[in-house]
Chain A
């Protein structure tokens, strides 16, 4: 009986919502506004949807049972454990790294470009992982630091002609500074309140970039940002004046794919660097303190830890990683505008962290790859991209709420 009531109620809600959103439309008819109803075909779809909701609610138990029968993939037994793993690990890492370096020479330019994008998201995901996954501070304005990094490089390169390699650490430093300044007043907030304030901060940065036309170029953005060079060698067809060209120096024919591959390789190195640094940090006492703070603030204070300092360090390091990614993004695109740093970017990065499994680096790398490559594969459905995005999230939370590869901790083995 309760089921039937529930089903009728859900169907009713669907009916009301569908009627309001699809059933009636406002049209301008000459100078007046007219209300037009939906076409018979649309009505058929609406009622089809209502029927679907009704029956799925009515038979929800059976559907759940069917869902449970779908086997959950067990990846854990694929990964060797214990001594074998510690022996294998360096070889595995070296193998992956070599594959990453060789791979671009064998595939098309488009896929190398896509891989570079995926690497940027990996960097962003890893950075946000420190803040959200380890320290447990929900940050919805992470893209602000990404924007700070990108604009730092773009502006320094435009106004002072500084090179990419000089600007890379400066961008990371600038983003860290912004993280520090924002973190100071904000980190006494917790949970939902922190999320709202960081969301606001993300918007402030974007609006600032949009309106400070004199410096940032406003909505027009900044174009013609210098590409990275290899020890001063450029990757263009013709040199400007005096600078050496990559293909001339090595005596090979010019190919536009050199530049793409070079950018990809920089991204690989940057990601490897970020992974290395974060891995070290996680093993240091400060990394454990982040997790401890997420678990229990009062216990942390009882041990003499300064919670503001710990939160601030997580926030700052997370932000500096975004700054890193941002300056590389600016160098790769050659053009940036506030359009690239909207809230949806923050949401995507957060989705990567949640999807991958909070705190787990492997999971986040996997999720970042999936989140960048899937939309490319599903180009035909680009209109429904956000719909698919939402659907994936709902299914993930139903099927594997702890993320793709949840963070692992040593577990006691029974001997």
Chain B
């Protein structure tokens, strides 16, 4: 569904990504793990077109999107939950969700709203509350819900567990699995390797802007190198 071939990305003269090739098939959860500064977020942003890949191709549904404007990419059935939640803090939960369905008709909006609220009952309780007054976990749910409002076929999640309590992280991850069961393809960038690999079908490990390992989630969980580097032995 999403295919990156030999993608290189530069920030000015500094090369952040080296020859990245990644393949995400429809209906999978694919996770990308790596240390800070490995280039995980850069890779995610490159898929969205900011920064642009300096070479290589990015195929989404067999269409090259490496030179399509960001705003257009995000309307093609791809949704992204950016790092650090980034909800519109002074808008209400409902308005936040409405922003997610900006390019869709009212009927479609109502339909998606019902689905998202079913997925996150907590958001329904807080529908007319300002997003900034909610807890971190609720904001993360809102961020995922907002991305789901556009009915994407694929969703990119950038560190959804950032700054959350273990029990909330578990909730978030079980929701991610549920999304996959509903037929959404998921590309998950995570620091929390243990949790991420457990639900992932396949995983990639990044180091210094390169993909150094790729295998199934289970195999990576038991891989001694990965265990040493990310899982604490």
Contact = CB atoms under 8 A, between A and B. Distances in A.
Nearest to B85: A299
Interface string A305-319: 111000000000000
A245 interface: no
A289 B88 contact: no
Contacts of B147: 302-303
A2 to B, nearest CB: 35
A66 interface: no
B82 A302 contact: yes
B100 interface: yes
A83 interface: no
Interface in B62-105: 69-75, 79-82, 86-92, 95, 98-100, 102-103
Contact of A295 (B50, B74, B79, B91): B91
B57 interface: no
Contact of B74 (A285, A304, A409, A410): A304
A313 to B, nearest CB: 13
Given A285-B102, A301-B71, A295 B150 contact: no
B87 A305 contact: no
B86 A411 contact: no
A306 B102 CA distance: 11
Contact of A304 (B50, B129, B150): B150
Interface string A287-306: 01101100110111111111
A162 to B, nearest CB: 40
B86 A292 contact: no
Given A289-B99, A292-B99, A411-B128, A301 B74 contact: yes
A409 B130 contact: yes
A411 B129 contact: yes
A93 interface: no
Given A304-B71, A304-B103, A411-B128, A298 B82 contact: yes
Given A285-B102, A292-B99, A299 B128 contact: no
A296 B99 CA distance: 12
Contact of A306 (B71, B86, B95, B128): B71
A35 interface: no
Given A289-B99, A299-B88, A302-B147, A410 B71 contact: no
Contacts of A410: 92, 128
B128 A302 contact: no
Contacts of A295: 88-91
B200 to A, nearest CB: 22
B4 interface: no
A412 interface: yes
Contacts of B103: 304
A306 B74 CA distance: 10
A303 B100 contact: yes
Interface in A381-415: 409-412
B146 interface: yes
Nearest to B130: A409
A165 B73 CA distance: 45
A86 to B, nearest CB: 15
B189 interface: no
B71 A302 contact: no
Given A410-B128, A412-B129, A302 B74 contact: yes
Contacts of A411: 128-130
A304 B102 contact: yes
Nearest to A413: B128
Best-buried of A298, A302, A410 by chain B (most CB within 10 Å): A302
B74 A291 contact: no
A306 B73 CA distance: 11
A302 B81 contact: yes
A305 B102 contact: yes
Contacts of B220: none
Interface string B118-136: 0000000010111000000
B17 interface: no
A240 to B, nearest CB: 54
16 contacts: A288-B99, A289-B99, A289-B102, A292-B95, A296-B88, A299-B86, A302-B48, A302-B86, A304-B70, A304-B72, A304-B103, A305-B102, A306-B69, A306-B71, A307-B71, A411-B129
Interface pairs A-B: 10 shortest CB-CB: A304-B74, A299-B86, A295-B88, A306-B71, A304-B75, A410-B128, A412-B129, A302-B80, A292-B88, A302-B82
